Amino acid sequence: MANVSLRNIDKSFGETKAVRNVTFEVAKGEFLVLLGPTGAGKTTTLRLVAGLEKPDAGSVLIDGADVTSAAPASRDVAFVFQQYSLYPHLSVYDNLAFPLRSPARRMPEDEIRSRIEAVAGMLRIGGKLQNRSTKLSGGEMQRVAIGRALVRRPAIYLMDEPLSSLDAKLRADLRLELKRIQRDLGATILYVTHDQIEAMTMADRIGILSEGRLVQVGSPREIYADPDNVYVAARLGQPSINVLPLGALPVRSAPRTAYSVGVRTEHLDISRDGGPGANARLDWVEHLGDQNHLHIRLGDHRLTILAQPGTDLSAGEALRIEAANPLFFDEDGRRIR
């Protein structure tokens, strides 16, 4: 395993600045997730590390060695893509063996077999090794694609939304397994996604990208509880944080330069009547089984509040609401407190 570091990387495609002055490091054995919406520069960043793109400025270092101009094959990185690109005419076994059978490696077949068996066990595809890869489900195919990266034992794994083509249940299963395997192997993984749940559940640290810039890096807990700006605050949390103009909701001692206030859905206290806070009205209740989302109207504003599954509130009721743990932002969306 190795660490990877990007220093002041710029990359444009014509007029499009895909990556702007990006600097960060993935430590040895760390799982770092880059999170951002479409077009934020996630894939380009991965391709720069893989050597599939060359930066306009800045450098890429792997274990301290400058590889900015090195060919992809010499970087010892494995890439897992969103679309599993398996060889359809080969068995699962031969798909997994393929990267190990390259003439450059000259790996003996018994070594290949023992690596494949170990990886197949980890990914729970041991029973499928003789199947044609086209006879697999989507989830199994993606396991094989991940397995093909694992058998190589590269210094760094680069993963580009590897779970996004799977259905929700499979995605949740594979998320847990990938995290477990990463821990067991002590693997260095740079993973990109626009799925906040993947970022929150798998990352040691999350880097938030916006329009090619890295706007904040921190542990999932730090990014969630202590966002640097309103953009970062809105990237994590489902439903999304409520952001209101200052004054819309009573808060104690707002900073002087505060312009808006952000309140997470679990940080709004509600009471029926006579309670503290502002007058509001419950528009409707969304029942999700394990929780409820209350959609609330507060003057001209709409808010979402998380409520317990057993709530007996119903649409149309008058409520009082009060914010706990508000986050304050200035006019430019920067966090003040």
Q: Interface residues with ligand ATP (CB under 6 A)? A: 13, 16, 18, 36, 38-44, 194
Name residues whose C-beta falls within 8 Å of residue 31's C-beta, 6 or more positions apart in sequence: 179, 182, 187, 189, 191, 202, 203, 204
- Listed as own residue / partner, the contacts of 232-237 with beta carbons closer than 8 Å and 24 or more positions apart are 232/208, 233/262, 233/327, 233/329, 233/335, 235/35, 235/36, 235/196, 235/208, 236/196, 236/199, 236/200, 236/206, 237/196, 237/264, 237/265
* CA separation for the pair 335, 46 (Å, rounded): 29
Which residue has 């090619």 as its token pair? 212
Q: How far is the CB of 41 from ligand ATP (least distance, A)?
A: 4
Q: How far is the CB of 284 from ligand ATP (least distance, A)?
A: 32
Q: 288: exposed, middle or buried (C-beta count within 10 Å: 0-12, 13-18, 19+)?
A: exposed
> How many CB atoms within 10 Å of residue 13?
11
Whichever of 19 and 270 has its CB closer to ligand ATP, that residue is 19
Q: How far is the CB of 13 from ligand ATP (least distance, A)?
A: 3
Whichever of 39 and 139 has its CB closer to ligand ATP, that residue is 39
Q: How far is the CB of 100 from ligand ATP (least distance, A)?
A: 29
Whichever of 18 and 67 has its CB closer to ligand ATP, that residue is 18
Whichever of 41 and 51 has its CB closer to ligand ATP, that residue is 41
Q: How far is the CB of 16 from ligand ATP (least distance, A)?
A: 5
Name residues whose C-beta falls within 8 Å of residue 43's C-beta, 6 or more positions apart in sequence: 160, 192
Q: How far is the CB of 260 from ligand ATP (least distance, A)?
A: 26
* CA separation for the pair 302, 280 (Å, rounded): 10
Q: How far is the CB of 119 from ligand ATP (least distance, A)?
A: 27
Whichever of 12 and 91 has its CB closer to ligand ATP, that residue is 12
Whichever of 38 and 308 has its CB closer to ligand ATP, that residue is 38
* CA separation for the pair 219, 97 (Å, rounded): 36
- 188 φ, ψ (degrees, to nearest 5): -90, 120
Whichever of 159 and 280 has its CB closer to ligand ATP, that residue is 159
